[in-house]
Amino acid sequence: MASVLVVATSKGGTGKTTIATSLAGFWRADGKRIAMLDTDPNQAAIRWIRKGESYKDVESQATADEHSIIGAVQDLGERADLVIVDTAGFGNQSMIYSVGIADLVLIPVMSDEASLFEATKMKKIIQSASALTRREIAFRTVLNRVKRSTVVRHTERQLEALGLNPVEARIGDRAVFQEASYHGSSPEDLAPHTSASIEIRRLARELEPALFKTS
Protein backbone atom coordinates (compact mmCIF):
# COMPACT_ATOMS: atom_id res chain seq x y z
CA MET A 1 0.00 0.00 0.00
CA ALA A 2 1.00 3.58 -0.63
CA SER A 3 1.81 5.99 2.16
CA VAL A 4 -0.89 8.54 3.01
CA LEU A 5 -0.27 12.26 3.49
CA VAL A 6 -3.25 14.20 4.84
CA VAL A 7 -3.23 18.01 4.62
CA ALA A 8 -5.63 19.24 7.26
CA THR A 9 -6.73 22.02 9.58
CA SER A 10 -10.17 23.15 10.62
CA LYS A 11 -9.35 26.76 9.75
CA GLY A 12 -10.26 27.91 6.26
CA GLY A 13 -7.97 29.95 4.05
CA THR A 14 -4.67 28.49 5.23
CA GLY A 15 -3.73 27.14 1.80
CA LYS A 16 -4.29 23.41 2.25
CA THR A 17 -5.20 22.85 -1.40
CA THR A 18 -2.27 24.95 -2.63
CA ILE A 19 0.19 22.90 -0.59
CA ALA A 20 -1.41 19.54 -1.43
CA THR A 21 -1.48 20.13 -5.19
CA SER A 22 1.96 21.77 -5.28
CA LEU A 23 3.53 18.83 -3.45
CA ALA A 24 1.73 16.43 -5.78
CA GLY A 25 3.15 18.29 -8.77
CA PHE A 26 6.68 18.24 -7.40
CA TRP A 27 6.69 14.55 -6.51
CA ARG A 28 5.04 13.63 -9.80
CA ALA A 29 7.83 15.50 -11.66
CA ASP A 30 10.34 13.70 -9.44
CA GLY A 31 9.14 10.33 -10.74
CA LYS A 32 6.86 9.29 -7.88
CA ARG A 33 3.47 7.71 -8.52
CA ILE A 34 1.08 10.16 -6.88
CA ALA A 35 -2.67 9.95 -6.33
CA MET A 36 -4.99 12.60 -4.93
CA LEU A 37 -8.18 12.27 -2.90
CA ASP A 38 -10.24 15.44 -2.47
CA THR A 39 -12.62 15.26 0.50
CA ASP A 40 -13.61 18.94 0.40
CA PRO A 41 -17.19 19.44 -0.87
CA ASN A 42 -15.89 22.40 -2.94
CA GLN A 43 -13.49 20.04 -4.79
CA ALA A 44 -10.89 22.78 -5.32
CA ALA A 45 -8.03 20.28 -5.61
CA ILE A 46 -9.83 18.18 -8.20
CA ARG A 47 -10.68 21.23 -10.30
CA TRP A 48 -7.06 22.33 -10.14
CA ILE A 49 -5.39 19.10 -11.17
CA ARG A 50 -7.89 18.15 -13.88
CA LYS A 51 -7.46 21.39 -15.88
CA GLY A 52 -4.04 20.99 -17.45
CA GLU A 53 -1.25 18.60 -18.40
CA SER A 54 0.86 18.90 -15.23
CA TYR A 55 -1.18 16.25 -13.44
CA LYS A 56 -2.18 14.05 -16.37
CA ASP A 57 -0.75 10.92 -14.72
CA VAL A 58 -1.96 11.76 -11.19
CA GLU A 59 -5.00 9.58 -10.53
CA SER A 60 -7.66 11.43 -8.56
CA GLN A 61 -10.97 10.87 -6.84
CA ALA A 62 -13.34 13.09 -4.88
CA THR A 63 -15.72 12.21 -2.07
CA ALA A 64 -17.23 14.14 0.81
CA ASP A 65 -18.76 10.95 2.24
CA GLU A 66 -16.73 9.95 5.28
CA HIS A 67 -17.75 6.32 4.86
CA SER A 68 -16.13 6.20 1.40
CA ILE A 69 -12.75 7.66 2.37
CA ILE A 70 -10.97 4.53 3.56
CA GLY A 71 -12.05 2.56 0.50
CA ALA A 72 -11.03 5.38 -1.83
CA VAL A 73 -7.56 5.65 -0.26
CA GLN A 74 -7.09 1.90 -0.44
CA ASP A 75 -8.14 1.86 -4.09
CA LEU A 76 -5.85 4.72 -5.08
CA GLY A 77 -3.03 3.30 -2.98
CA GLU A 78 -2.91 0.11 -5.02
CA ARG A 79 -1.49 2.09 -7.97
CA ALA A 80 0.52 4.81 -6.24
CA ASP A 81 3.52 5.40 -4.02
CA LEU A 82 1.71 8.15 -2.14
CA VAL A 83 -1.91 9.21 -1.72
CA ILE A 84 -2.37 12.88 -0.82
CA VAL A 85 -5.67 13.70 0.88
CA ASP A 86 -6.93 17.28 0.75
CA THR A 87 -9.52 18.08 3.42
CA ALA A 88 -12.19 20.72 3.93
CA GLY A 89 -11.49 24.00 5.72
CA PHE A 90 -13.68 23.06 8.65
CA GLY A 91 -13.86 20.23 11.12
CA ASN A 92 -16.02 17.34 9.95
CA GLN A 93 -16.21 13.56 10.04
CA SER A 94 -14.38 13.28 6.71
CA MET A 95 -11.35 15.03 8.18
CA ILE A 96 -11.36 12.73 11.21
CA TYR A 97 -11.57 9.61 9.04
CA SER A 98 -8.76 10.94 6.86
CA VAL A 99 -6.52 11.63 9.85
CA GLY A 100 -7.21 8.13 11.12
CA ILE A 101 -5.59 6.50 8.09
CA ALA A 102 -2.72 8.98 7.67
CA ASP A 103 0.95 8.13 7.86
CA LEU A 104 1.62 11.84 8.22
CA VAL A 105 -0.65 14.83 8.77
CA LEU A 106 0.59 18.21 7.51
CA ILE A 107 -1.03 21.22 9.17
CA PRO A 108 -0.69 24.56 7.32
CA VAL A 109 -0.46 27.50 9.71
CA MET A 110 -0.59 31.22 8.98
CA SER A 111 1.02 33.86 11.17
CA ASP A 112 -2.01 34.70 13.27
CA GLU A 113 -3.48 33.67 16.59
CA ALA A 114 -6.50 31.93 15.02
CA SER A 115 -4.26 29.61 12.99
CA LEU A 116 -2.25 28.69 16.08
CA PHE A 117 -5.45 27.97 17.97
CA GLU A 118 -6.74 25.70 15.19
CA ALA A 119 -3.36 23.96 14.93
CA THR A 120 -3.51 23.04 18.62
CA LYS A 121 -7.03 21.67 18.03
CA MET A 122 -5.70 19.58 15.14
CA LYS A 123 -2.96 18.21 17.38
CA LYS A 124 -5.62 17.01 19.83
CA ILE A 125 -7.64 15.43 17.00
CA ILE A 126 -4.54 13.60 15.79
CA GLN A 127 -3.72 12.42 19.30
CA SER A 128 -7.28 11.14 19.73
CA ALA A 129 -7.08 9.33 16.38
CA SER A 130 -3.77 7.79 17.45
CA ALA A 131 -5.36 6.50 20.65
CA LEU A 132 -8.37 5.16 18.75
CA THR A 133 -6.30 3.35 16.11
CA ARG A 134 -3.61 2.29 18.61
CA ARG A 135 -0.78 3.59 16.45
CA GLU A 136 1.26 6.75 16.35
CA ILE A 137 0.11 9.21 13.68
CA ALA A 138 2.91 11.64 12.90
CA PHE A 139 2.20 15.29 12.22
CA ARG A 140 4.09 18.42 11.20
CA THR A 141 3.11 22.05 10.84
CA VAL A 142 4.24 24.36 8.05
CA LEU A 143 4.09 28.14 8.01
CA ASN A 144 2.17 29.10 4.88
CA ARG A 145 1.29 32.35 3.08
CA VAL A 146 4.25 33.90 4.87
CA LYS A 147 5.08 37.60 4.67
CA ARG A 148 8.30 39.05 6.06
CA SER A 149 7.56 40.31 9.55
CA THR A 150 8.40 39.88 13.20
CA VAL A 151 5.01 38.16 13.57
CA VAL A 152 6.36 35.20 11.57
CA ARG A 153 9.27 34.75 13.97
CA HIS A 154 6.89 34.96 16.91
CA THR A 155 4.65 32.31 15.32
CA GLU A 156 7.62 30.00 14.82
CA ARG A 157 8.52 30.27 18.50
CA GLN A 158 4.90 29.56 19.43
CA LEU A 159 4.78 26.47 17.22
CA GLU A 160 7.86 25.11 18.97
CA ALA A 161 6.55 25.97 22.44
CA LEU A 162 3.20 24.27 21.75
CA GLY A 163 4.85 21.07 20.52
CA LEU A 164 3.47 21.46 17.00
CA ASN A 165 6.52 20.04 15.19
CA PRO A 166 7.16 22.81 12.63
CA VAL A 167 9.20 22.01 9.55
CA GLU A 168 12.08 24.31 8.63
CA ALA A 169 10.62 25.16 5.22
CA ARG A 170 8.30 28.14 4.88
CA ILE A 171 5.88 28.77 2.05
CA GLY A 172 5.51 32.41 1.00
CA ASP A 173 2.43 34.22 -0.18
CA ARG A 174 3.37 33.91 -3.87
CA ALA A 175 1.36 34.97 -6.92
CA VAL A 176 2.62 31.95 -8.87
CA PHE A 177 0.37 29.67 -6.81
CA GLN A 178 -2.73 31.52 -7.99
CA GLU A 179 -1.47 31.46 -11.56
CA ALA A 180 -0.82 27.73 -11.34
CA SER A 181 -4.37 27.08 -10.10
CA TYR A 182 -5.86 28.96 -13.06
CA HIS A 183 -3.80 26.96 -15.55
CA GLY A 184 -4.15 23.60 -13.84
CA SER A 185 -0.40 23.53 -13.53
CA SER A 186 2.07 22.95 -10.73
CA PRO A 187 4.64 25.55 -9.66
CA GLU A 188 7.30 22.98 -10.56
CA ASP A 189 6.12 22.92 -14.18
CA LEU A 190 4.99 26.53 -14.49
CA ALA A 191 7.95 28.29 -12.87
CA PRO A 192 10.59 25.82 -11.66
CA HIS A 193 13.22 28.41 -10.70
CA THR A 194 10.99 30.74 -8.67
CA SER A 195 10.93 31.06 -4.89
CA ALA A 196 7.57 29.26 -4.78
CA SER A 197 8.97 26.14 -6.44
CA ILE A 198 12.11 26.20 -4.32
CA GLU A 199 10.05 26.45 -1.13
CA ILE A 200 7.78 23.55 -2.15
CA ARG A 201 10.87 21.52 -3.02
CA ARG A 202 12.35 22.15 0.42
CA LEU A 203 9.10 21.17 2.11
CA ALA A 204 8.85 18.00 0.04
CA ARG A 205 12.40 16.95 0.93
CA GLU A 206 11.68 17.43 4.64
CA LEU A 207 8.58 15.25 4.45
CA GLU A 208 10.00 12.49 2.27
CA PRO A 209 11.69 10.40 4.99
CA ALA A 210 8.29 9.87 6.65
CA LEU A 211 6.50 9.03 3.39
CA PHE A 212 8.77 7.12 1.02
CA LYS A 213 10.49 3.89 1.91
CA THR A 214 14.14 3.70 0.98
CA SER A 215 15.73 0.47 -0.14
Q: Is 14 domain-assigned?
A: yes
Name which residue leads in pLDDT, 33 or 156: 33
- 43 in helix, strand or coil? coil
Task: Encode pLDDT of 194-212 as tens digits.
Answer: 999 999 999 999 999 999 9
Task: Encode pLDDT of 78-134 as tens digits.
Answer: 999 999 999 987 767 889 999 999 999 999 999 888 989 999 999 999 999 999 999
Q: Is 215 domain-assigned?
A: no
Q: Identify the pLDDT of residue 154.
A: 85
Q: Identify the pLDDT of residue 197.
A: 96
Number of H helices, E strands in the chain: 9, 7
Residue 215: pLDDT band with limits 50, 70, 90: very low
Q: How far is CA 60 from CA 16, 63, 150, 158, in A?
A: 16, 10, 39, 36
Classify residue 215 by burial, with Cβ atoms within 10 Å: 0-12, 13-18, 19+.
exposed
Q: Is 22 domain-assigned?
A: yes
Q: Is 102 domain-assigned?
A: yes
CATH code assigned at 55: 3.40.50.300
Provide the residue range defining the domain that includes 147. 3-210
**CA separation for the pair 34, 79 (Å, rounded):** 9
Domain count, the chain: 1
Task: Encode pLDDT of 160-192 as tens digits.
Answer: 999 999 999 999 999 999 999 999 999 999 999
Q: Is 31 left (phi over 0), alpha (psi -120 to 50) or beta?
A: left
Q: What residues does 34 pair with on adjacent strands?
A: 82
Task: Encode pLDDT of 35-76 as tens digits.
Answer: 999 999 999 999 999 998 889 999 999 999 999 999 999 999
Residue 11: pLDDT band with limits 50, 70, 90: confident
> Are the C-beta atoms of 180 and 190 separated by less than 8 Å?
yes
**CA separation for the pair 124, 116 (Å, rounded):** 13
